[in-house]
Structure 1
């Protein structure tokens, strides 16, 4: 009986801790949502309401259609579109390049292939912030400033994804490779018919991670674009802040923040099962 009571008590404590953690994470999001449903003057009074207001439809329709006065006439919908193009381009590009590079390193025999892999892996020590100046110079020389190519191409290479795919490919038994060779499957057929289906959970997990990485980019889009037409949502939120609480339309800024959270949240929820399976399931 004492053991049962102890188990029940520990279960209650665990659930209580989980609920406290969820509340801690969700409360700022809730306050941002509440703020977006009130008039801007409400925030200036110094009393933050805890219950939603009546301006939700007006605030979000205004932000999506006409933007924020302190930023300009560009709509948030256009900023979300730019961020979506960048995030999808980075996620898909990273996965394609990493798949091909890992496939070549594992299944092809060429001189110094191990050295080439470790050279790729060593780039983990050089994040984009460290190589920002030479990368910007290359993009400028290629004429990719103020373009989607300039936003996406410099961030396509991924040593992390290449390493993860390589480690998974090394678990594929040699008998499967030999059976494919006996059946007359060439390198590309083996890649598309066998490697890709086996890698689908890994691809899904990496897509979620890389999409969030691309969506949250701030420094690189800030440097490589000066044309407002290519403004991403992260830059838009920062530029919407006037620097003064009295002048900043906090209801509109919080509405932008909530809208900026929706696409990555939708990707995580939509691919949650594949994401978890790709990270923890040993049976790929």
Structure 2
């Protein structure tokens, strides 16, 4: 029996050591893949940042990727001379309005679907999800006619009101509300808490992380809008940052495109959403994992 026990112990030790070796090898492979993906994502940003500091932004060899000496001049020219600061302000105003409006509408819709007896609410929710299957460009023609008939064209209402309804946000909030313990809801009902008070004092405090994460997602989505503002806005002064980049690309100096100016505008456009995603990365990750609860 002693010899048999020793043999079993040796087999178990070999298995544990083999598992550890496999795990170590697997972890090493995963780390290599992650580093490769990070490099592929970060490298274009590093190139854009380097090009934005050059006189013309022409890259012919690896030495041209070193930082230049025209950073202040290029960024000042983009912000002041070409009015890119105005474009960024329009995008910021549009994004904030869209985030606040979407948050209010989606919060009310998700709360009604989860906690209240609404006739055919499951059918309504399926219809909301069905809107995700419609490509955005399909809605441009009727939406353009509607905005024109209302007299909202070439203004802030034209680029904000069409984005206030969000099926994705309703879905995420609904999934989160379903994960809240039913005992909390029953206690609120027994205390006679009304809908508004229930939302303000129960749902919102228990959903701060998800609400922040959803807000970041909505902000990035609104900030990156290009096609609809290009279609509905005629005045250059009312355009957004993404369309402003194409205006920078349309400026040719001496028959040659100034890539340094374009890259300076690209870096300026990247900063607001990147700063928000870094500052609120934890709530953002919580939002992406909400479906697993």
Q: With the length of structure 1 as denominator, give the TM-score of the two structures.
A: 0.88
Aligned to 1:14: 30
Residues 160 and 281 (structure 1), Cα distance of their counterparts in 2 relative to 1, 3 Å cut = closer
Matches within 5 A, 1:1-284: 7-40=23-56, 43=58, 49-67=64-82, 75-242=83-250, 246-280=255-289
Query: How far, CA to CA, are the matches of 1:13 and 1:179 in structure 2?
Result: 50
Tell me the distance in 2 between the aligned counterparts of 1:195 and 1:6.
45
Cα distance in structure 2, aligned partners of 1:219 and 1:281: 30
Cα contact 2:172–2:290 (8 A) shared by 1: no
* Aligned residues between the structures: 275
Deviation (angstroms), 1:244: 6.6
In the TM superposition, what is the alpha-carbon distance from 1:283 to its structure 2 partner?
Answer: 10
Gaps of 5+ in 1: 68-74
2: CA distance between counterparts of 1:116 and 1:20?
Answer: 44
Q: Please give the alpha-carbon distance, in whole angstroms, between the structure 2 residues aligned to 1:141 and 1:62.
A: 38
Q: State the TM-score, normalizing by the size of structure 2.
A: 0.86
1:15-73 Cα deviation digits (max 9, x unpaired): 33322222221111111111111111x62x85571211111111112222212xxxxxx
Alignment deviations for residues 165-215 of structure 1 (CA, whole Å, 9 cap, x no partner): 222223334432231122221111011100111222221221121111111
Shift of the alpha carbon at 1:94? 1.4
- Structure (1 or 2) with the greater helix fraction: 2
Q: Which deviates more, 250-259 or 142-151?
A: 142-151
Measured in 2, the distance between the counterparts of 1:94 and 1:281 equals 19
**Structure with larger Rg:** 2
Q: Distance in 2 between matches of 1:90 and 1:27?
A: 31
Aligned-CA RMSD value: 2.3
Change (3 A) 1:79 1:99: same
Distance 1:218 1:282, change over 3 A: closer
Determine helix, strand or coil for the equivalent of 1:118: helix
